[in-house]
Structure formats: structure tokens, C-alpha cells
Structure 1
């Protein structure tokens, strides 16, 4: 049987669609649903209950990255839902009908090329990206891929799990490649944002000391409650580099995980990192980094790009959250509110994360 017993797949659904690059978002209630008989081997149909909203979704709508999205496009890549159908002739599926699974930025990869074999699945030449090169999770139903959806731990609620699938796994992986050990200092520019507030928690779970960099009393309160050891407000600081160094005992942090989408986060990090430190690049402004070559060499700085994470990284990130060590701070909204969410994202008004309730579980 390729369809979940007792479940009827409707012909149409509600979906949030970007009809063309830069166009206004449209909420359509009669968008077609791919039926079980039309699924290809390896494909699965997921009934979405919740989806997070990521800054990347705004880039997908605006088409302002060097890699262009497809259009028309249903965005979204932090979806949680139940598998209600699996394509016929799908051998050895790692998931089954009825499983509650997560859909991530990386929707699918070939698993057989050099990059996939070496653990760089996200760099596969045939990679499919949810809500960017294939339709994503801003809809009631989405077609995904059995080899890449991630089973959600039973004790993790769907709304809370959603943003772990992108913001969580991205920051977790960034910290894994930060060359840090227990007791080291890590600087987190953008600490009060959707990725940053999770980075604070994953860093603390790894035994690191955190200097949080952001602005505003609300974000300061939040990151301190999450365990940040020091706070630097980039708007009120008269010398951010000096303040970060002072907060970490004078030498500067051992690593900086930059989640902020502005090049200043990178330029400053080279200045305040201690000798031998690692700059982990996660935020993606389409801009030069401004890394000073002299000081990068003179201070033996390592610059490390970290692009989302692998299937295994996702499992680990979810397990840490399921153990109660990481919790997404989010505000619940409905799919119809997505236009307003995009506006708030553009104006930097969102602390933590927005999770949309798409349908009842």
C-alpha cells in the first residue's frame, strides 16, 4: 500500500506561492496536490502540520542571491508533518507511512557522488533545495524524498522541532567545525536572531562560553536567559572589537560563528578573534567579506564556510533538542500571516523564530 490507511488525499490545498521573482506572495486555496499514483520511486507526500520561517525564504521570494530560485515557487524548508503516501517501487525506504518527519533545506541528493560520499551532501551537483529549486513547506502537502526526510523524536513537539531542521542544524554544524573545545569562548554576532538564539544553546550544550553580539534590551534579556556569558550591543558599543576582547579575558574568542546577514559581522570577527581562532561563516550576505589578508595570516586565522548540515547532523541536532538542552523560542502564526512575517523579517523586527501552523496534526 502506498497511501496511509484511512487517509484521503485531497485534490487541492492551500499554499503560499511566489508567482515570479520579487512578486508579492499569494495565498491560494485551490492549488493542486500531487496524488499517490503520481509519486515517483523515492518520493513521499507529507501532510504538513507546522513550518518555520527562515530569512532564506525572504531571499527566495526576492531572488537576490547569485543562485536563483525556481518560479512559480512555494517556499519553506523547516516543515514537520506525517508521511501519507510513498511512491510505488521505492526499495528499502528508511521511513514508512505514518512517520512524523522533518523536511529540510536539502531536500534530496544523489548519495553516490564524491561530495555525498565525503559528507558534503549539500554540495552534491544534483542537490534539490526545499523552497528554492523544488516546492517547499508553505503548503498543506509537499512532495519530498524518503532518503532525506528526518524522523522527528517522539518527545519533541512538531512546532518546536520545525526550526531545528534549518536554524538548529545549521548552527549545530557550524559549531562542530569551529575547532573549539570545552571551555573555549565563541562569539555569536546575531545572537538574538532565529539562528543565533539556537547557536547560544548549542554552544552551551557543547561546554563553550558565549559572548553574544546583537542589539536591544529584548534580545539581551533572551540570550542571557539562554546562558550567554557576556553581551555586547553593537549599536551602543563605542569599540565593539575592544568590548568583545574584554568580555573574553582580553585575548578574544577562540571562534566566531557569524549568523548575521551583514558583512560587518565578518570584518569585525577577524579583528577580535584571538590568534589561531576560527571564523565560521554561516550568514550569507551577497557581499565581500572584508577579511584583512595581513591580519588573517599574521594571527593564523582559519576561515571556515559551513553550509547547513548532513542527514546525520540533523539527527544529532534533533536529539540534543529532544534531550531538553535546546529549545526554539518562537511565535506561532498561521499560513495566511506569511506576508506580514516577510515584512517583519525585512525590517529586523523578529526575535527568535516564527512557526506557522499549517494544518492540524
Structure 2
């Protein structure tokens, strides 16, 4: 397969901050792989909220840079030290690149290993990412896709999926307990609803858009609440379905300026608010922290082992990723336009490797 790799490929690049992506033909990477790297032919890549932050200069990107850190594809070539994968394997491309392996986070609790302070970079943030026909990834961080998980469903799991899964890990709830999700009808939220339901939680989804409220219902939330009713009414409704105590824990995936405060308000006394959204400032009244002992736990993605667990849950529970499809790299600007419209349900995904996608259809497997 290595001999079939073209010298040039199409990619969507950040060429100048605060400007739209440019679609360019660039050199295909991977000619000289690091021993721990793999060259992957990208099948599907999706757009993430963080991509917009990168466009504004967040992350220390060296321009030009290929965008997107949510990709799935087929292994073309592996570095000499990679034993777990081979050419032809279908993989989820983890955004983390070259953790040091020796710092306290790398050797500490496995669920914190993604916080390595000496990391070599992050795909689509400060290294070339998935909006390209080929990308170089760290083979120690990728995950093999279950046979019934499609490239199209997998790509958003590389960040959106593992991010909310990591939030669930930090919420530390048991089956039968309740979880509120602020922003439950968005790209991350609708996945969080399904993950939470799959592990036996009672899910309360809170959103402010008609499209989001409907997606939350379609995703299986036990209770769906329109935040436009006002904070007091939302808290009242949460209490009414939790025996008067509010949710056992809350995950906030909305970057609205009032979202964290609402998340704290719908969490029971002594409960945990997991903050995933990344607004410039997280604002919560002191009364929630001091008088009600609400604990705020920040959460950034999840580890490779947690990613494997997430993929097992997706495979076994037929979890659906709501996607909006675009055909080819040249349609990346259309995906961005939809994401900014406020009318989108789920995630925008770009279909890149048509042959790989056709082969999935011919496999005869019922794909999620």
C-alpha cells in the first residue's frame, strides 16, 4: 500500500488566523515515519468547536496547518516500533501526539494520562490534522475500530465522543443515578445522552434551541428541558424528576456565559459539576460553591484506554452519531458555514475516502 501513496494530496489548511480555511494541494506526509508513527488514509474527518478556536490563534499553531482533530481512516504504513496495527486496519485517530511517557500524568492514574505536560503536540491544533487525504498519527494513541462501527460514526468520537466520555468518568456515577447535561442537544451533548443511558443513568437534557431539544429527545433523554423558560423554572423541573434534590451530577458542554451557573444550580448539594465547555471565563455564584458545596471538576478529553471502553459501548449499544455529511475536502467551507448557522443538529462530517466508505457498505455488516 505504501507504493500507492501519491506525492501530493488535497487538504484544508489554516493559512492565516481569523481567515477561512484554504483548500490546497500539498505534499503527502509520511515518507520518513518516526518509529511510533503511522500513516493513515483519512476516510472521514469532522469539525469540532476547538477548530474555531485554532482559527483564532489558540494552540500555538505554526502556519500553514491542516485542520481537524477528529478523524478515522485506514492504516497505510506503520513505524518500526508499532506492533499493534498493520496496513489495512481501520482506526480512530487520537489527537494526542507523542506523550513523554515519564511524567506524573503519564505514569499516574490512567484516566489522567492525556494531560501530559510534555506532549509532542495535538493533531489539528498544533500539528497537521484530519482535513486531508492522509495524516501522520501516533500509533500508540490510536484505537482499532470495532467491525460494526463505521468511519462516519467514528470520526466525531475522536474528540467529541471521548471528551464527553471523559466527563462521565469524572462524574463517577452509578447506574440508577441522575445526570443533567447543559447543552444536551448539541454535537457533544447528544453523544453524552446516549453514553449515559448505556451505562444506566437517568438523563436530564437542557438546551436552548428547538433543534437541540429535538435532538436530545431523539437521543433518548429521559427528561428534556428548555432553558428559555428561565433558570428558576429549569431548577424546578429538575427537582420534580429527581425527588427534590436535583441531579446527582451535571456535565456542562455549553459555552454560554450563564451555562456553568445553571449547571451548578441543577446539581444536588455536595454534587459535582463537570465543566467541559471552554468559554473565556467560567462563572458560578459563590453560594453554589460555599453554601451548597458544589464541586467543579474540569475535564479534557480522555485517555486511550477510556477511548477503547467508549468504542465498546458504541459497538454494543448501537449508539448513533447524528451527522451532516459533506463530500470531499472542497466542501469543508460548507461544513463550517452550517456549524455557524445555529441550525445544525449533531456534527458536520467530511467524507474523504470514497473507496473505503464503499467497501464498508459492501461488507454486509450492519454499521452504527
How much does 1:108 deviate? 3.1
Q: Which of 166, 171, 179 is matched with 1:178 structurally?
A: 171
TM-aligned CA distance change 1:91 to 1:246, over 3 Å:
same
Question: Could you tell me whether the CA contact under 8 Å between 2:30 and 2:136 is conserved in 1?
Answer: no
Q: Which of 103, 108, 111 is matched with 2:101 structurally?
A: 111
Question: Could you tell me whether the CA contact under 8 Å between 1:237 and 1:243 is conserved in 2?
Answer: no
Query: Does 2:136 match 1:169?
Result: no
Unaligned runs of 5+ in 2: 357-368
Query: What is the SS of the residue equivalent to 2:312?
Result: helix
- 1:16 matched residue in structure 2: 12
- 2:27 matched residue in structure 1: 32
Q: Which structure 2 residues correspond to residues 59-74 of structure 1 after superposition, within 5 A?
A: 59-63=53-57, 65=58, 67-74=59-66
Bigger share in helix: 2
- 1:55 matched residue in structure 2: 49
Query: Does 2:76 match 1:84?
Result: yes
How much does 1:301 deviate? 1.6
Question: How far apart are the structure 1 equivalents of 2:88 and 2:104?
Answer: 33
How much does 1:267 deviate? 1.1
Residues 167-186 of structure 1: CA deviation (Å, up to 9, x unaligned): 11111111111032111111
Question: How far apart are the structure 1 equivalents of 2:114 and 2:54?
Answer: 17
TM-score for both structures, normalised by structure 2: 0.90
Question: How far apart are the structure 1 equivalents of 2:173 and 2:5?
Answer: 48
TM-aligned CA distance change 1:167 to 1:35, over 3 Å:
closer
- 2:244 matched residue in structure 1: 250
Query: What is the SS of the residue equivalent to 1:339?
Result: helix
Query: What is the SS of the residue equivalent to 1:277?
Result: strand
Q: Which of 211, 220, 239 is matched with 1:218 structurally?
A: 211
Unaligned runs of 5+ in 1: none
Query: Does 2:239 match 1:232?
Result: no
Query: What is the SS of the residue equivalent to 2:317?
Result: coil
Q: Which structure 2 residues correspond to residues 1-361 of structure 1 after superposition, within 5 A?
A: 4=1, 7-28=3-24, 30-36=25-31, 38-63=32-57, 65=58, 67-87=59-79, 90-118=80-108, 119=110, 120-127=112-119, 128-237=121-230, 239=232, 240-287=234-281, 289-334=282-327, 335-360=329-354, 361=356
TM-aligned CA distance change 1:117 to 1:35, over 3 Å:
closer
Query: What is the SS of the residue equivalent to 1:125?
Result: coil
Query: What is the SS of the residue equivalent to 1:98?
Result: coil
- 2:366 matched residue in structure 1: none
Query: What is the SS of the residue equivalent to 2:19?
Result: coil
Residues 22-61 of structure 1: CA deviation (Å, up to 9, x unaligned): 1221111x2101243x222212111001112111111111
Across the two proteins, how many residue pairs are aligned to each other?
Answer: 350
Question: How far apart are the structure 2 equivalents of 1:107 and 1:331?
Answer: 28
Query: More displaced, 244-253 or 320-329?
Result: 244-253
Question: Could you tell me whether the CA contact under 8 Å between 1:11 and 1:35 is conserved in 2?
Answer: no
Supply the RMSD in Å over aligned alpha carbons: 1.8
Question: How far apart are the structure 1 equivalents of 2:180 and 2:341?
Answer: 24
Question: Could you tell me whether the CA contact under 8 Å between 1:74 and 1:136 is conserved in 2?
Answer: yes
Query: What is the SS of the residue equivalent to 1:280?
Result: strand
Query: What is the SS of the residue equivalent to 1:133?
Result: coil
Question: Could you tell me whether the CA contact under 8 Å between 1:205 and 1:325 is conserved in 2?
Answer: no
Question: Could you tell me whether the CA contact under 8 Å between 1:275 and 1:300 is conserved in 2?
Answer: yes
Query: More displaced, 293-302 or 306-315?
Result: 293-302
